Amino acid sequence: MIGLTTTLVLESLGHTVRVVARATGEATTSAVAGAVWFPYRAGPPQLVAAWAARTRAWLVELAANAATGVDVLEGYEIEPGTGHEPPELPWWAVDLPEVTRVAAPCVGAPLAWRFVAPRVTPATFLPWLTSQLRATIELRSVTDLTAEPGDLVVNCTGLGARVLCNDDQLQPLLGQIVVTRPGAAHLGRSLTDDRDPDAIFYIIPRRDELVLGGCAIPTDELAGEDPAITARILAHARRLGLDVGDVLRVRIIHNYGHGGAGYTLARGCAEAVAQLI
């Protein structure tokens, strides 16, 4: 998201950009994000508020074109605390005049901030963004930024910067999500419940599914799904009265282990797989 957007802007200003990436699409962090507009765990506040407001205006503009995969939702954020204290505009809302304090659309109707929240569908948006570039993506790993050709290198390697720049201040956070069928949930509203920082919750509707989260757990390794986190997220949705559908899971059909007979079995097995599907 960061590298492609940076390229788009630089190209629009007349620069010639070479884009290098170790991986694209599904193999990036950007592919798994919710991905709704909300400045979560980013700083410094003043700069983030301005960058976020600018990005929001851009995404709202893009939402006019359905092919981008961007839609404009109504976002709600339930902050930590009781929700009954005198309202003070959140730091990220300084450039956003329409942010208002309202009852959240969930059980108990705690007070929440309501705002305009563009939501991106990464699987649609990232290919669309790529198609807008003059540059094509060179697929390879960069090991030394100073050895790259050109006048200037812009480093958009996300977590990859930890190794590439030897930056051990960059702390990976584990974010686990659950994707469900829409059920009876409102597809025009995203909701974040930040009241318990150790058990954050969000629901982000896409056009045909829901993304529920979440967590932000410091980690140094790639972990698989933690069923306890999934259960906690789904229980949180139920507690808030959000009527989500069944969890969508990747189903796997194993078609391997054909001994010394792969050419002898391929077509028959392929048709058996097709039948299962």
Q: Across the chain, how many H-helices and E-strands are there? A: 6, 11
Q: Identity (one letter) of the amino acid at 79?
A: E
Residue 250 C-beta: closest distance to ligand FAD, Å: 16
Residue 259 C-beta: closest distance to ligand FAD, Å: 37
Q: What are phi and psi of 207, to 5 degrees?
A: -65, -35
Nearer to ligand FAD, 7 or 104 (CB): 7
Q: Within 241-270, which residues bind ligand FAD (CB under 6 A)?
A: none
| 277/271 Cα distance (integer angstroms) | 10
**Cα separations (Å) of 61 from 66, 132, 268?**
11, 15, 50
Q: Within 171-210, which residues bind ligand FAD (CB under 6 A)?
A: 175, 177
16: how many CB neighbours lie within 10 A of its CB? Answer: 10
Q: Which of 160, 191, 201, 244 binds ligand FAD (CB under 6 A)?
A: 160
Task: Please name the residues in contact with 64: beta carbons below 8 A apart, sequence gap of 6 or more.
Answer: none
Q: Identity (one letter) of the amino acid at 143?
A: T
- Is the CA virtual torsion 38, 41, 42, 45 positive or negative? positive
Residue 14 C-beta: closest distance to ligand FAD, Å: 23
Nearer to ligand FAD, 102 or 163 (CB): 163
Residue 129 C-beta: closest distance to ligand FAD, Å: 11
Give a three-class secondary structure readout of 122-137.
Answer: HHHHHHHHHHCCCCCE
Query: Quick check: 68 binds ligand FAD (CB under 6 A)?
Result: no
Residue 191 C-beta: closest distance to ligand FAD, Å: 12
Q: Which of 15, 24, 94, 116 binds ligand FAD (CB under 6 A)?
A: 24
Q: Which of 83, 90, 105, 158 binds ligand FAD (CB under 6 A)?
A: 158
| 200/270 Cα distance (integer angstroms) | 43
Query: Quick check: 219 binds ligand FAD (CB under 6 A)?
Result: no
Q: Give the gyration radius of the chain's Cα atoms.
A: 22
Nearer to ligand FAD, 35 or 242 (CB): 35
End-to-end CA distance of the chain, in Å?
33
Q: Within 28-67, which residues bind ligand FAD (CB under 6 A)?
A: 28-30, 32-36, 38
Query: Quick check: 21 binds ligand FAD (CB under 6 A)?
Result: yes
Contact footprint for ligand FAD (CB under 6 A): 1-3, 20-24, 28-30, 32-36, 38, 141-142, 156-160, 164, 175, 177, 213
